[in-house]
Structure 1
């Protein structure tokens, strides 16, 4: 029986703990925050009208079979399939509702944009299916490989043309889709990997395929229910979960790990350490490695969040609604900056706005709505080249701006807001130790962007899980990273 220490009780850390305890290891999880869940955060606001409950991280669950593979039927009573998965509203007023039934979705495309656009989507869908099949076999469910290795695998699978080395999501959209609104829809999926669609590899076609093939799901009571279920399974397996306990160093010598050191100076011995922390934090702070850390300095998209308690009900909104801007490229120029032109990153002036309003009595009082409003944002930086999101004036001024944008796009809510709470990239950095508050670690830019930091660390006995490492961000990917690691560690 091995002694395993897991650093961080996010979804990746808890998933790894469940798998390793099931395999017979003794597992202890140390979490710096007072609660589990990591980026799968929750926020409760009490008012005279009643309590509002918000998910502050992921708001959509995909690939539910990945969850059931780990937890069985533990969440079956909570799962709700969404139709539409997302309601897309374009600047000209056109609306397109996505769903997991492709015949229905293509008919909706035909109704909104014409039969030509539906035929183009069917052709793109066939390519996306090939990308998904190759990705699932050789990337998402397998240990990380080199960039050259990925290309070789795709070639052996007969799918190199679908993977499209050197192509990006934007170029694929231009090749297959003639309607600029459909191109905008495809561009948005690059942001699921924290990337700019003009630099995101074409292999990210797997992202819309996964969502539109296996569906989008909600958990009654909020997605934070997943963290509760993982914690309950850990408790049942005898995993020790220590919240409010920060790990400050991974102890390693002689080419292998020996344990971790806590903030109070205590040394905890371990045969195996699984780090559910941003890879940059691991290689910058916990086990310093300048070369590895230097590769991870580019940060992915962050998020600016408004949590709104709203009186009454709002017509025209689905569970998830995206309101697109007139110029999507201007948003990416703002958020990522244009270093060659001397343009530093800044809050997007006219961003796409993502609104989640769950029709769930468990998360809002009667006669009210709990709104989660998200826009892409540059990471936090307290230097001249970054955005100081810790500044109250910056945060609240931008909150006003987002409410103005909603009103300009036909969603006037300012006169019905009971309260608003603001969460910035600086808040995410503080609560989860994610450098800059970047949601996905490093962005998936270029073919090399598909090769995130590996799950096996540079010393024996060290492994990494979570959204900043292979196979990527998002709840199912994080849970797959835990499976990959558990399989590599093996049984006790």
Structure 2
């Protein structure tokens, strides 16, 4: 039995801790804040409750595997999962709207043809076929296997592109895919929306980001009753059941080293805890920035420069029975939105995502509604957030009729809140191939023996599913050692 110290109590950290505890190890988690969950937070006021991080679950198989492997109770015994249908409603700049069914490629094609005109669905369906090729080429190395020492094959673009006529050159960015292959500004906006939802600028995101809509439309979108925070609660309970120790209010100042390997952690108050392995599940750039692992080499600058603004909106009046759970209101000025992301300013007319869960646990009663609205922004912006929140609220009214008249109050969360709670203002993106490797996160194995990286800033990157996979990979590396070849 080895002693293992885990830095941070986010979702990736708890996923690793639960798996390692089941393997017979003694696991202690050190979290600088007063609670667990990391970016999966909760804001509550006046009987309203809001997720402040992810609002939907994709690739639920990752968490089903986690709960099966760490105890007798399956995921669905611990939380109630609801498949969201339609998966999303989209409102485009010209006022056209379309609702896309959940996990139905044929249904999506039909819906796009009906809303955008004959041929639109076919073009999107053909694009999804090419996205599947990119997914098949990168799924195992980017989700299920440790990052290889030689990442040069993953630096090459896996998306095949449309090989016909003048379009034989493989596109290099997602925006180029939309412009050249989808040939409809609304379809291009649909594609851009998936990138923005993951904190990526479509103008710079590699074409391989096509796997993001493929993943959602193939495996579906799910909601956890009580909010995604309920998933964090269930994972924390699973860790406690497996005898994982949590120490809150415990900021780790540095990783201890002995004989050339990690040997434990030292807390900010001077206390030390010896360990045979250390799992650093706090944001890797922050660990380098703050000197926690300063002797472990040089972390390359993060390619991510975007964060999120989140509005928690308390509304009077009941939610309409036919309201979509998720509505994406696309920018009415896509050119300005792209220019704003490039220039480090907020967009005049941002793309926003409105989440309207039909969940009685999030509202005081049936005569009220809790709505969350998010937008992707550059983290370089320092002020003007209230004015930007006004613009977000105006855009969200296209998803929530009469929103401003129904508004009781709003709570605005900015990248500064993300920085305070997680140590980084940015939101980590999923690992993506192509782009010369700049969207490949830190490997799970650090340069210092005995020190491992987990969580959204480590392989395979950001997102609930990806951080869960990071925990599985780290646990496998510690338990099986150098022979570990990935999850099965």
Fold match, TM over 0.5?
yes
1:477–1:409 Cα change, 3 Å:
closer
Partner SS state of residue 490, structure 1 = helix
- The correspondence of residues 118-157 of structure 1 with structure 2, limited to 5 A, is 118-145=121-148, 146-150=150-154
- Give 1:197 shift: 1.1
> Secondary structure at 1:287's aligned position in 2?
coil
Q: For structure 2, list consecutive stretches of 5 or more residues without a partner in the other structure.
A: 69-73, 163-168, 482-488
Kindly provide the CA deviation profile for residues 395-438 of structure 1, in whole angstroms up to 9, marking residues without a partner as x.
3333233223444788442222112111111011011111xx11
Partner of 2:83 in structure 1?
81
The CA distance in 2 between the partners of 1:162 and 1:397, in whole Å, is 40
Conservation of the 8 A alpha-carbon contact between 1:135 and 1:206? no
Q: Are 1:417 and 2:403 matched, yes or no?
A: no
Cα distance change, pair 297–169 in 1 and its aligned pair in 2 (3 A)? closer
Deviations 1:443-469 (A, max 9, x none): 968241342111111100111111112
Residue in structure 2 matched with residue 440 of structure 1 by the alignment: 428
Alpha carbons of structure 1 residues 100 and 465: separation in structure 2 relative to 1, 3 Å:
same
Are the counterparts in 1 of residues 147 and 444 from structure 2 also a CA contact under 8 Å?
A: yes
| CA–CA separation in structure 1 for the residues paired with 2:154 and 2:392 | 40
Tell me the TM-score normalised to structure 2 length.
Answer: 0.89
Tell me if the contact between 2:197 and 2:376 (Cα under 8 Å) persists in the aligned partners.
no
Q: Distance in 2 between matches of 1:172 and 1:246?
A: 44
Residues of 2 paired with 1:11 and 1:84: CA distance?
27
C-alpha separation in 2, matches of 1:438 and 1:8: 17
Whether the aligned pair in 1 keeps the contact of 2:7 and 2:13 (CA below 8 Å) is yes
Distance verdict in 2 for CA 1:447–1:8, change over 3 Å: same
Deviations 1:347-373 (A, max 9, x none): 222101111111111111221110111
Deviations 1:314-355 (A, max 9, x none): 557411111111222321321342xxxxxxx12222101111
Which range moved further: 443-452 or 297-306?
443-452
Among residues 77, 83, 90, which one is paired with 2:92 in the alignment? 90
Distance 2:221 2:342 in 1: 28
Cα gap change, 1:297/1:142 in structure 2, threshold over 3 Å: closer, same or farther? Answer: closer
**Residue 333 of structure 1: aligned partner:** 339
TM-score, reference length from structure 1: 0.89
SS of the residue 1:88 aligns to? strand
Deviation at 1:290, TM superposition (A): 9.2
Q: What is aligned with 2:486?
A: none
Write out per-residue CA displacement over residues 119-166 of structure 1, whole angstroms, 9 at most, x where no aligned residue. 1112111111121122222221111134413268x9xxxx67369977
**1:1-400 to 2 correspondences below 5 Å:** 1-46=1-46, 51-72=47-68, 73-76=74-77, 78-98=80-100, 99-145=102-148, 146-150=150-154, 161=160, 167-285=172-290, 286-288=292-294, 292-293=298-299, 295-315=300-320, 317-337=323-343, 345-365=344-364, 366-379=366-379, 386-389=380-383, 394-400=384-390
> Aligned pair in 2 of structure 1 residues 184, 441: CA closer, same or farther (>3 Å)?
closer
